[in-house]
A = this chain, B = another copy of it.
């Protein structure tokens, strides 16, 4: 058991456990302080920035599943943090926005988010973080471009 597992150098794995650790730590904080789940927190963050938008807009902005957005909105509405008004341009959807209570909570939530981000990233320069973000975005893109058939045909590059 002295040997370092190759798994520990498999980048998708390292990415996964780092992401789980960071997200888990932040989720724990929001749950403990305000009883908010991650999707709920994301919706509040977006509504605070964008004001009256639809669930569809929230889905696109958050990159979450529309069902996750819908459930988060429902919970927030039941808690009186978010309100819906009819959308006169489109009868299928509603316009969502923070209530006064929701706006007040948003004012506490965002500073905590920034502070936790700052602490988690403590010790890295702005340039390092920018490069890190750029790499994340590119890995994200490139993972979606990998073509299965392509891999199949060359026998994993070992044939």
Contacts and interface: CB of A to CB of B under 8 A. Distances in A.
Interface in A1-45: 1, 3, 5-26, 29, 32, 42, 45
Given A14-B136, A16-B19, A7 B120 contact: no
Interface in A83-128: 108, 111-124, 128
A63 interface: yes
Contacts of A111: 156-158
Query: How many copies, total?
Result: 2
A interface, by DSSP: helix, strand, loop or mixed? helix
B50 A143 contact: no
B122 A142 contact: yes
B144 A21 contact: yes
